[in-house]
Amino acid sequence: MIRPALTDELDEVLAFWQIAAENDNRPADRHAALAALHLRDPDALLVAVDVDEIVGTVIAGWDGWRCHLYRLAVAPHRRRQGIGRRLIAAAEERFRVLGGSRADAMVLDDNADAHAAWSAAGYRRQAEWSRWVKPLPE
């Protein structure tokens, strides 16, 4: 089942990302930041759940203008079962309902497994753009 994460699952999601998500070249995930996202938009963090185990996640961020996808992750023991594809489809449906017209995904250049998953879902690298980042002081 794919559904929005519950408030009491946020620590479980953070622990899940430690084993299932790409964690290189990014600031560490913090409970406060995830809680702020959840408070602002409780439907943005989607989880795939099998019985009572989180087996996948994606953040389907909508700012009223753009559709952004982050933190697509599938449990290592559940990969290649279509969970990522279903998470992406659920995120896209959320965007359609909200009025979004184009989604973008944050994918590290060196994450070849993610390239295959996003490509299979119809996403393509956009060579005309580069992402510019600046870490903000805490």
For 1-26, what is each residue's pLDDT tens digit? 999 999 999 999 999 999 998 877 77
pTM (2 d.p.): 0.91
Which amino acid would we find at residue 2?
I
For 96-120, what is each residue's pLDDT tens digit? 999 999 999 988 888 888 899 999 9
Which amino acid would we find at residue 104?
D
Contact by Cβ (8 Å): 117, 72? yes
Contact by Cβ (8 Å): 73, 57? yes
Residue ranges per structural domain of the chain: 2-120
Q: What is the pLDDT of residue 58?
A: 98
Of the options 3.40.50.300, 3.90.1420.10, 3.90.1150.10, 3.40.630.30, the CATH number for the domain spanning 2-120: 3.40.630.30
For residues 69 and 89, give the distance between their C-alpha atoms in angstroms, rounded to a whole number. Answer: 11
For 77-90, what is each residue's pLDDT tens digit? 999 999 999 999 99
